[in-house]
Amino acid sequence: KCFKSFQGEGCRTVPLSGHVGFDSLPDQLVNKSVNHGFCFNILCVGETGLGKSTLMDTLFNTKFEGEPASHSQPGVQLKSSTYDLQESNVNLKLTIVGTVGFGDQINKEDSYKPIVEFIDAQFEAYLQEELKIKRVLHNFHDSRIHACLYFIAPTGHSLKSLDLVTMKKLDSKVNIIPIIAKSDAISKSELTKFKIKITSELVSNGVQIYQFPTDDESVAEINGTMNAHLPFAVIGSTEEQKIGNKMMKIRQYPWGTVQVENETHCDFVKLREMLIRVNMEDLREQTHTRHYELYRRCKLEEMGFKDTDPDSKPFSLQETYEAKRNEFLGELQKKEEEMRQMFVQRVKEKEAELKEAEKELHEKFDRLKKLHQDEKKKLEDKKKSLDDEVNAFKQRKMAAELLQSQAQQAGGSQTLKREKERKNSGFL
């Protein structure tokens, strides 16, 4: 080891008299990372019944809590569960996100939207933490999705339209690793053809799946080989049986036994090696440097922030903030003026409606008043007619009484005359 000290145009080599020690930086970083712990978030996308939960239990050799999902969900719901795992002295905060009800609806047109919204929500939460004045990113629970295991039904024919649409919507937001679930449901020859068919359809539809990196010499060979095996055909099981002198995870059938960790039976070991042992850190890095940066750039551009201004001058946060503030105030004033004009228009319309209603009320009042006068006149005429009838009746009554009294008087006179004549005749 040596230092090089530059003097003028030449340089001289200064031998070290002792050990400096900056070669321990990697060890310091490792110790710091181990003490802080790691996080890894997996999104499992697939139809109900494809064995997503069982595969997670098998991958991490742990029985995670969870209830079986039914096929009667009204929509797609994302359920997130976080677990603290430890292997040797390394702590891992593992988050598993399941898509409950995915593919169970008759209308599957918008099944991908809740998944996209969930991924964007995790990006937004991290971005909001970054934009804070006082940030605590070292203690912030990073919930961004690092790997998306897309479970494909073992039909043996081709990908469903739902699978192609969903993966196309997700490939720019998350690292997609397609896997054929329950691959023991089809034969070896059918499985090989199915893999080729899936790969061809993904390429022809422009779906970008995660490719294991080959730029690192230490893992370039194994990753290059494993890229050729995508999509992985996997089987999950927590049932164990002793085979030879070793306990093996198996699936027991009437015709025989399928060994989960036997590479001639399925690609489970390949998936576990690539996902956890070899490329976990690359998945985390790709999520941050590629997918999150794309979301962050688009979000900041929507807010008006750019690297250079229209004059190709360096970006100024203060100037951009002032420009956006003035633009916002201008839009606010414009909206305020529009609301004021709308309010004035509404007031005028209301006044016109009230005047029209008032006019109608006056007309109605005049009609009622005229009707009242007519009714009053009719009543007065009828009263006068009744009064005339009463007076006429009284006159007729008085005339009748007078005639009756005269008749009585005349009858009395005749009676007296007859009495007088009778008496006179008696004396004779």
Q: Could you tell me if 234 and 320 lie in one domain?
A: no
Whole-angstrom distance, CA of residue 154 vs CA of residue 349: 66
pLDDT digits (tens, 9 = 90+) for 208-223: 999 999 988 889 999 9
Six token digits for residue 218 = 């230490």
Query: How confident is the model at residue 1, as a pLDDT?
Result: 40
Q: Is pLDDT at 3 greater than 50 in this prediction?
A: no
In a domain, 90, yes or no: yes
In a domain, 71, yes or no: yes
pLDDT digits (tens, 9 = 90+) for 398-413: 998 888 888 888 877 7
Q: Could you tell me if 226 and 321 lie in one domain?
A: no
In a domain, 353, yes or no: yes
Query: How confident is the model at residue 376, as a pLDDT?
Result: 92
Question: In the chain, pLDDT over 70 holds for what percent of residues?
Answer: 91
Q: Could you tell me if 174 and 208 lie in one domain?
A: yes
Taking CA atoms, 178 is separated from 208, 350, 363, in Å, by: 11, 63, 79
What CATH number is associated with residue 297?
Answer: 3.40.50.300
Stretch 128-135: mean pLDDT: 86
Q: Is pLDDT at 60 greater than 60 in this prediction?
A: yes
The region that residue 66 occupies, defined by phi over 0 for left and psi between -120 and 50 for alpha, beta otherwise, is left
In a domain, 403, yes or no: no
Whole-angstrom distance, CA of residue 62 vs CA of residue 86: 11
Whole-angstrom distance, CA of residue 224 vs CA of residue 227: 5
The dihedral built from the CA positions of residue 218, 219, 222 and 228, taken in this order, carries a sign that is negative
Burial environment of residue 52 by CB neighbours within 10 A (0 to 12, 13 to 18, 19 or more): buried
Domain boundary among 261, 280, 303: 303
Q: Is pLDDT at 124 greater than 90 in this prediction?
A: yes
Whole-angstrom distance, CA of residue 415 vs CA of residue 426: 16
Six token digits for residue 34 = 């181990």
Whole-angstrom distance, CA of residue 164 vs CA of residue 13: 61
Query: How confident is the model at residue 421, as a pLDDT?
Result: 77
Whole-angstrom distance, CA of residue 406 vs CA of residue 410: 6
Domain boundary among 303, 336, 371: 303
Stretch 107-112: mean pLDDT: 86
Quickly state the pLDDT bin for 18 (edges 50, 70, 90): low
Is pLDDT larger for residue 400 or for residue 323?
A: 400
DSSP 144: -
In a domain, 25, yes or no: no
Q: Domain range for residue 370?
A: 316-394
Q: Could you tell me if 325 and 213 lie in one domain?
A: no
Q: Could you tell me if 287 and 342 lie in one domain?
A: no
The dihedral built from the CA positions of residue 135, 141, 144 and 146, taken in this order, carries a sign that is positive
Query: How confident is the model at residue 7, as a pLDDT?
Result: 47
Burial environment of residue 222 by CB neighbours within 10 A (0 to 12, 13 to 18, 19 or more): middle
Six token digits for residue 374 = 């007519």
Least reliable range by pLDDT among 63-72, 110-119, 160-169, 368-377: 63-72
The amino acid that residue 6 corresponds to is: F
The dihedral built from the CA positions of residue 165, 168, 174 and 180, taken in this order, carries a sign that is positive
Q: Could you tell me if 263 and 381 lie in one domain?
A: no
In a domain, 285, yes or no: yes
Query: How confident is the model at residue 308, as a pLDDT?
Result: 62
Burial environment of residue 175 by CB neighbours within 10 A (0 to 12, 13 to 18, 19 or more): buried
Q: Could you tell me if 113 and 227 lie in one domain?
A: yes
0.85 surpassed by pTM: no
Query: How confident is the model at residue 316, as a pLDDT?
Result: 65
- Bridge partners of 151, per DSSP, are 179
Tally the domains of the chain. 2
In a domain, 221, yes or no: yes
Q: What is the mean pLDDT of the chain?
A: 87
Quickly state the pLDDT bin for 416 (edges 50, 70, 90): confident
Quickly state the pLDDT bin for 2 (edges 50, 70, 90): very low
pLDDT digits (tens, 9 = 90+) for 78-93: 999 999 999 988 999 9
Q: Is pLDDT at 194 greater than 80 in this prediction?
A: yes
Stretch 118-134: mean pLDDT: 91
Q: Could you tell me if 244 and 180 lie in one domain?
A: yes
Q: Could you tell me if 133 and 56 lie in one domain?
A: yes
Q: Could you tell me if 225 and 341 lie in one domain?
A: no
Residue with tokens 């321990």: 24
Q: Could you tell me if 251 and 332 lie in one domain?
A: no
Instruction: Confirm if 286 and 171 have CB atoms less than 8 A apart.
Output: no
In a domain, 414, yes or no: no
Rg (C-alpha) for the chain, rounded Å, is: 50
Least reliable range by pLDDT among 165-169, 288-292, 313-317, 373-377: 313-317
Q: Could you tell me if 369 and 282 lie in one domain?
A: no
